[in-house]
Structure 1
Amino acid sequence: MATAADHPACRKARPKRHLLSPICLSLALASPVIVHAEPTSSVHSVRQYNIAPGPLSQALSSFAAQAGILLSYDPKLAQGLTSPGLHGTYDIQAGFAALLAGSDLEAVGSAPDFRLQKSESMALDDILVQGNELGSITEHSGSYTTGSMSAATRLPLSIRETPQSVSVVTRKRMDDQNMTTLEDAMEQVTGVNVFYETSDQPRFYSRGFSMDKVQENGVSSSFQGSVSGMGSAEASSESADLAVYDRVEVLRGASGLTQGSGEPGGTVNLVRKAPTREFQASANLGTGSWDNHRSELDVSGPLNDDGSLRGRFVSVYQNKQSFIDYIQRERYVLFGNLAYDLTPDTTLSGGVNWQKTHSVPDLYGVPMSTDYSSLGLSRSTYLGASWNNMTYEKINGFAELTHYFNSDWKLSSNLNYTRSSSNGEFIGIFGNGTNGVGSSGTGRLNNFLARDNEGYQYGLNIDLNGAFSLLDRQHNLSTGVDYLKERYDNLFGRVINSSTVNVFDWKPSSLSKPDIPYTNRYRYDNYQRGAYLTLRVGLTDTLKLILGGRFSQFYFRSNFKNLTTDRETVAAYRENGKATSYGGLVWDFSQNLSWYASYTDIFKPQNVVGESGSVLKPLTGENYETGIKGEFFDKTLNVSAAVFHLIQENRAMSNGDPNCDNNCYVASGKVRSRGLELEASGALTSNWQVFAGYSFTRSEYRKDESNSIKAGDTYAKWFPKHLFRISTDYRFSGKLERWSLGAGLTTQSSTDSTYDVYQGGYTLYNANAAYRIGDNLTLTLVGNNLSDKKYYIPVSNRHRGGNNLYGEPRNTMLTLRWQYH
């Protein structure tokens, strides 16, 4: 086919980022062109596409070439715009619609000639409903699901294309349900239970195992409570505020390919909000139960005429009291992010996230009776000193360099640095150790304590990601390296005070604050680096094979020093050349449904020494999984059903030798977890969003580990066998079009703590309503625990003496939201 674009001058000067240069376009429009059309069969009405996300001009060029069409447009229309890419089978019109989603552009014409122009009537909501793929960014999508995520393999795949159980908490869900902290979001994820080591230190568990790692834009760091030998009270950072994030991606099951080392519970990826090419702004003012006041400001847009320099600024201030006397929290967040297009194909971005929180913590909650019954203490009971305090501060610097070689291949480099600190002084009541409190109410103080913790985390990921054709099939590849270095430096002080007190007549102001000198120093160094490769092979149009591998090196060192005696204890261990593997198969057996199966593994070094004096070999976790996934209603609704079988081996256990005197351990323990997970997320109609998730988990010891732990015993008895969450939001039409209503519930079955404290199953109900006052102004009301259920939040080591923390009673939050975009 000959066109003006085939003029020699046009071929010589043809730029990379669009099909026709301005000169060629003017030739095509201003002078007659003889078009020698190729046979109609060269224009593929329906075909398979695999176009990576990236600059819109490159994506359109790839689409036009693969579809066998001519597309003409003014390059200014596509300048600075990106496309979510295109994966799957499409006709030409549906392909254009997916590539142009959210761009306010449309393609007009008929095969083989099309022209790009500004859309005259299509709004964003129309694009999302009229049969077009969601992108990975969830802000303004109005959806409870996403079009793609890479938490499992680092390949940008849809949920259906990913052969593991994954979930996402989108920006809309966060706003609808007033989620402001990471634990708020994780409490609404299928199969995940949030446990609290202390009242302000949550940990996340899936399938009975912890999630040791968290990513920010794909760069890993440790959840501090998971660092070997490091207690949760030594953590220098608190949970992240969600105001700066677009979405939370969650992978359940072993994640050795992306994380290297850790428990087989899964991982979390937080994706930051990015600067936008169009100006947008929002401001929220909220007030709620127990004097909970929160304000947010979010401004984003271009900083020069052509939009090559863009910026985003987010700020948060929150002052919140509590249903518990004396407990309060004051939080500040400042976030700035800049992005600059060094060239049309290369973007450098970077910024800073600062978060600081002053709080009065609830140390141990309330004790129980010696017979495990409740003492009848009210939910407002505070059993600490009036001067108890804790301050957390975090400053996170990040940078990202992204280069698109073409519409198929992208190189990205992400750097993350976090310095965190926490310090506080406090005292609380424990009910006579773990024995509980008798009818007289007599308990004991648990000493004056002081903490000064610091953490330094450096993370780097370099990733090459792209698609290629081989043997008339489309394939995908991701390969890269990552690096993690962490240091924690913690001071601890204690002044003994175990005086007898009465929990029924406790006065928080009765204790004066003493000088608490630091007596111990704890240092931890954690180092890991690795290289990985993931290959997605298109065996047929409907069958995809994913193979991956990772090679990791790990080093850990701990240093405990008594500052009074100068006695020092040092322990170190390393793993060189540890390999992890990944395998997955996805079969699209119908237009909307796929079957998948996968194998993943992970390792975790131990700090336990055996009788020989050597550190035991690492724990290993293996995850086997199979299930069905589906996409419906133009891929705006995702559904999945999975069964899993997870094994962890090499657990430290007694060697059974009666003549052993020291370090009587051997790496022979084995645990198995099996279960079922069901999930649906996304749109039932254009104005009805839903999320629902159910999990059944059963874990047990497969070998005797001690005199008290026998094969067949429940392993994670504090993890609920049954977990169910559902939430929905419906936007009315017609005369009620300004209204939206939502409702939901979370329910779980009964559990036992490691100290055999029973928690019955319970259900929490919530609801939300929104009224659009005008085009830019909305008033929202969120209510939680509407039935005012009295329960204890999940704490694995609850006992009669303490760590019994009441969950929040019925509460509401009223927020005025202003948005411009």
Structure 2
Amino acid sequence: MSHSIQHQVKLPVFRLHQLAGLLLLSGMVSMAYMPRAYAEVSQHANTAVQSFDIAPASLDQVLNTYAKQTGILLVIDAKLTQGKQSRGLHGQYEVLPGLNVILGGSGLQAVTQENGSYKLQKAVQPLPASSSSVDTLPEVVVADAKVKEENKVYAGSQVARQGRAGILGERDFLDVPFNVTNYTSDIIADQQARSIGDVLQNDPSVRQTSARTNINEDFSIRGFTVASQDIALNGMYGLMPYFRVPVEMAERIEVLKGPSSLLNGMPPSGNVGGSINIVPKRAADEALSRFGVTYMNDSVFGGTADLGRRFGESNAFGVRLNGMYRKGDTTIDRQKLEEFMGSLALDYRGERLRVTADFINQQETINKVVRQFQVGDTLAKMPDAPDNKLNYPGYGHSQMKDRSMVLRSEYDLTDAAMVYAGVGTRNSQMDAVAGNPDQLNANGDFRSTPILQMFEVKSESYEAGSRFKFSTGKVGHQVSIGATKVNQNTNIFMTALSGFVFSNIYAPTYIDTPSTSGMDGSKVRLGTISLTSYAVADTLSFLDEKLLITLGARHQNVEQQSYNFAAGGVKNSAKYDESAITPVAGVVLKAWEGVSLYANYIEGLSQGQIAAPTLSNGGQAFSPYKTKQKEAGIKKDWGSIATTLSVFEIERPSAVVANNTLSVSGEQRNRGVELNVFGEIVSGVRLLGGGAYTQGKLVKNESTALNGNTPVGVPDWQVSLGGEWEPVLVSGLTLTSRVIYTSKQYVDQANNVSIPSITRFDIGARYKTKLQDTPVTIRANIENLFNRDYWNTSNEGYIYLGMPRTLLLSATADF
């Protein structure tokens, strides 16, 4: 009995060992044949095109979903993907190209192993574009997807995720303690923007505060002026065209709201409403040959060119050339326009060294240039807006030329430390005959004086700095150190060509532009300014970078010398040499996935005024004005749409003249709430814009009658909201619309004269297709659809007419 039991026990054990041996032998044989078999299956899968609709999520989640849908074997090192996000994948792709689109912007790339599986590794170079679209789909759709990933744009392709936060470097919009929006080249092209002002109309907190065909183009952000000369190029001031900024050469237009002296240094005009930065286009890995034709009514025709190539080992050298030319009659009576812009962008990207060089040449000539109205002392009520096609003052011309050259370089000392430097120059010239009309009464009577104005502004800009990362225990640090210097010299020739010319806005009298023959136009010195600053900031990270605290300060020195140009450029006795320190404190708390709570305290700086010689304290130079901002908000990335809700308070001192004495006694205080939105609600439906409520008040004035009044040009409500819809039944078609609303604004500090609210509607459409294998995009936009006549104003009290209904047509082709 026992023997039988033992036999029954031993027999199964013997069989288990035999089975294990057989399984081991079978496994070894299978492993020997697996690479070839799996590689054959994988090769077939890699060439098969599949459709994907994977929602944005963490990179790990998106990759796992992709591996399940494709059936591939994907080896993932969790250390490489930790903390990284992906925008998902939408469209039709082959396996490897689709995988690399998912990885775009992560610094990783996928490689195929011998056994046919896939492995992630750090990208040796930016992922090359691939042609993975199927024949039944327009090729341009897939190309757009690749461009999105390379430029790290958000869903909808209208706004970029990352932008330059001044000295802090490139940051994701969720990681900076400020309200920022980074508009892409896609929105510039789709809205057929002709200048930066056309793009900024998408932002509810930004308004253009000068006539569209005026000599210069200024803006208001959060109720404070930002002059055209204060637009930065890659964070450097004094280099973009002085009077009007072109957009054909822009990859991104970055808007940061509120004072930003620590981040960017003091702008030449001392503006504090916000900072606007242009990031120029660079050549991508895929060759680009894009040509276009444009039309704007009445009869302005033009053409564009955008060429990009990369050369050398690993495509290290890049060349990007952009050109634009427009000429013809505008929608304004008797007005003719001629514009030219050419830009050349060179770059080198090595393993550690990156060098860029930019050259910009812009010229603009306007015959019968439109000027802005000044509010006359006798004006008690604004007249109704006249026909928007009429020309004011009805004579004159302007010609502007800008040439800029910029050289920048960056070098990675280690993976955690880098240094950078930049130098640039700009020469701006203006030759104009113009005169600002004085609005005299509610009947529409005005007067103006034709004046010959010739300006020349020469600028030099320098920057240098470093950024490095390290840790102290569980606290991470990203320290930024920087220095900037801007030198600017202005020369002028100005003389009146006649006395007052009287006219009426409802029945203007057009006159010939007065002759300037016999005038030598020799310019004399008007002023010089030198801005030198040094800054340091540290972003401390806690709790695996869920809590970010930024602390820093900038020491800014302002040297200014004015000259009496009427006396032949004689140096004034007053010389300005002052300095100040502006701090910043910001915090970002990533409380939940895709949610950032943020707050900041930051100061802006403006050069103090010098009392005029005719005043009792003539020649007195005042210290730089400090503008203080407190702001808090919440940012939410919903996956394919993002929102920012902000509350802010900005306090800026102002200078007033009382009893023949200049003093700094008043203050403008703007408090507000902003809501910004961008992205896709659902696939094919996009939103861009938002709304802003601002309560502006004049406080602390010696003239108590002004206290409590609303500042000039600060509306209570502003709304800019645009939408796009891609009808499912018509592949390649996109329909667009936009509404821009601005509530009532005062044009005088006493709040006696105001202009009514403004509502403007725009519509558009674009169609993407292929003609004989050539991707073509046709666009049509109508601005001011209902041709409404309306006034607008600036923070300085200038008033001007809105543009008439304008039709824009264009067609671009990629060869």
TM-score (norm. length: structure 2): 0.78
Task: Pick the aligned partner of 2:233 from 191, 202, 216.
Answer: 216
- Please list, as runs of the form range in 1=range in 2, the aligned pairs for 1:68-467 lying within 5 A after superposition: 88=84, 99-101=103-105, 106-107=110-111, 114=119, 136=151, 143-151=157-165, 154-196=168-210, 199-211=214-226, 213-221=230-238, 237-261=242-266, 262-304=270-312, 306-341=314-349, 343-360=350-367, 361-364=369-372, 372=381, 374=383, 377-384=386-393, 388-426=396-434, 430=437, 433-436=438-441, 444=447, 446-467=448-469
C-alpha displacement of 1:374? 3.7
State the alpha-carbon separation in 1 of the partners of residues 759 and 480 from structure 2.
43
Cα distance 1:97–1:246, how it changes in 2: closer, same or farther (>3 A)? closer
Helix, strand or coil at the partner of 1:362: coil
The alpha carbon displacement at 1:113 in A equals: 8.5
Which residue of structure 2 aligns with residue 794 of structure 1?
793
Contact 1:108 1:115 in 2 (8 A): no
Once residues 766 and 698 of structure 1 are traced to their aligned partners in structure 2, the CA distance between those partners, rounded to angstroms, is 27
> Aligned partners of 1:503 and 1:588: how far apart in 2?
55
Q: Give the match for residue 694 of structure 2.
A: 697
CA contact (8 A) 1:448 1:516 kept: no
| Pairs within 5 Å for 1:624-639 | 624-633=630-639, 636-639=640-643
Q: AA paired with 1:202?
A: E
Q: Secondary structure at the match of 2:198?
A: helix
Matched, 1:739 2:704: no
Q: Could you tell me whether the CA contact under 8 Å between 2:205 and 2:674 is conserved in 1?
A: yes
Shift of 1:220: 1.8
Counterpart secondary structure, 1:589 = strand
Query: Structure 1 residues 498, 339: CA separation in 2 closer, same or farther (over 3 Å shift)?
Result: same
Residue 97 of structure 1, CA deviation:
6.6
Change (3 A) 1:390 1:399: same
Deviation at 1:667?
2.9
Change (3 A) 1:506 1:250: closer
1:623 and 2:617 correspond: no
Deviation of 1:135 after TM superposition, in Å, equals 5.7
Q: CA deviation at 1:668?
A: 3.0
1:541-594 deviations in Å (ceiling 9; x for gaps):
321111121122211111113357x86634321123x21111111111111212
Secondary structure of the structure 1 residue equivalent to 2:175: coil
Q: Does 1:600 align with 2:605?
A: no
Q: Please, which moves more after superposition, 497-506 or 474-483? A: 497-506
Q: Give the structure 1 partner of residue 473 of structure 2.
A: 471
SS at match of 1:562: helix
CA contact (8 A) 1:630 1:639 kept: yes
1:687 corresponds to: 684
Shift of 1:333: 0.9
Q: Measure the CA separation in 2 of the matches of 1:683 and 1:583.
A: 33
- 1:531 is matched with 534
Residues 88 and 309 from structure 1, CA distance in 2 versus in 1: closer, same or farther, beyond 3 angstroms? closer
Q: In the alignment, what sits opposite 1:717?
A: 712
Q: Measured at CA, do residues 305 and 559 of structure 1 come closer, stay the same or move farther in structure 2, by a change above 3 Å?
A: same
**Conserved 8 A contact 1:264-1:623:** no
Say if 1:682 and 1:691, in contact at 8 Å, map to a contact too: yes
SS in 1 for 2:786: coil
Distance 2:417 2:150 in 1: 18
Partner residue of 1:770 out of 766, 769, 778? 766
Quick one: distance in 1 between partners of 2:778 and 2:260?
Answer: 41
Cα RMSD (Å) of the superposition? 3.9
User: Following the alignment from structure 1 to structure 2, what is the Cα–Cα distance between the partners of residues 747 and 304?
Assistant: 51
CA contact (8 A) 2:574 2:621 kept: no
Q: Distance in 1 between matches of 2:392 and 2:708?
A: 39
Aligned residues of 2:562 and 2:571 also touching (Cα < 8 A): no
Shift of 1:780: 1.2
- Secondary structure of 1:773's counterpart equals strand
Give the secondary-structure state (helix, strand or coil) at the position aligned to 2:171: coil
Which residue does 1:652 correspond to in 2?
655
Counterpart of 1:584 in structure 2 is 586
Q: Distance in 1 between matches of 2:237 and 2:511?
A: 43
Decide which of 777, 792, 815 is 2:810's aligned counterpart: 815
Per-residue deviation, residues 405-448 of structure 1 (Å, max 9, x unmatched): 344433222222111101122467x4xx553375xx8754x333
Q: Is the 8 A contact 1:678 1:694 kept in 2?
A: yes
The answer for the alignment partner of 1:673 in structure 2 is: 670
Give the match's secondary structure for 1:257: helix
Cα distance change, pair 68–697 in 1 and its aligned pair in 2 (3 A) = closer
Q: Are the equivalent residues in 2 in contact too, given 1:414–1:462 (CA < 8 A)?
A: yes
Paired position in structure 1 for 2:510: 508
Cα deviation, 1:75-117, whole Å, max 9, x if unaligned, reads xxxxxxxxxx99657999999876544999535689x982669
Whole-angstrom distance in 2 between the partners of 1:533 and 1:453: 36
| Contact 2:224 2:795 (8 Å CA) reproduced | no
2:265 partner amino acid = G
Residue 756 of structure 2 corresponds to 760
- Deviation of residue 455 (structure 1)? 0.6
2-side partners of 1:95 and 1:623: how far apart? 44
SS in 2 for 1:347: strand
The answer (yes or no) to whether the contact 1:100–1:106 under 8 Å persists in 2 is: no
Match of 2:22 in 1: none
Deviations 1:55-79 (A, max 9, x none): xxxxxxxxx998457xxxxxxxxxx
Distance of aligned partners of 1:623 and 1:573 in 2 relative to their CA distance in 1, 3 Å threshold: same
1:260 CA displacement:
3.1
Residue pair 2:734, 2:765 contacting (<8 A) in 1 also? yes
What's the offset of the Cα at 1:244? Answer: 0.4
- After TM superposition, the structure 1 stretch with the greater mean CA deviation from structure 2, 398-407 or 676-685, is 398-407
Q: SS at the partner of 1:291?
A: strand
Q: Separation in 2 of the partners of 1:285 and 1:47?
A: 42
Greater Cα offset, 472-481 or 694-703: 472-481
Secondary structure of the structure 2 residue equivalent to 1:243: coil
Amino acid at match of 2:549: L
Post-superposition CA distance 1:382-408 (Å, at most 9, x none): 35465x221100001011112233444
Identity of aligned residues (%): 16
AA of the residue aligned to 2:721: I
1:124/1:589 Cα in 2 relative to 1: closer, same or farther (>3 Å)?
farther
For 2:76 and 2:477, locate their aligned partners in 1 and report how far apart those are by CA, in whole Å: 18
Residue from 629, 643, 647 that aligns with 1:643:
647
Distance 1:243-1:107 versus aligned 2 partners, 3 A rule: same
Classify 1:396/1:86 alpha carbon distance in 2 versus 1 (closer, same or farther; 3 Å): farther
Query: Following TM superposition, by how much is the alpha carbon of 1:307 offset from its aligned partner in structure 2, in angstroms?
Result: 2.2
Q: Which amino acid aligns with 1:641?
A: L
Q: 1 CA distance for matches of 2:683 and 2:548? A: 31
Q: Which amino acid aligns with 2:206?
A: V
Residue 548 (1) aligns with residue 552 (2) = yes
List gaps (5 residues or longer) in structure 2: 1-34, 36-56, 61-74, 90-97, 122-126, 134-138
**Paired residue secondary structure (1:764):** strand
The answer to whether the aligner puts 1:728 opposite 2:723 as a matched pair is: yes
> Which of the pair has more CA radius of gyration?
2
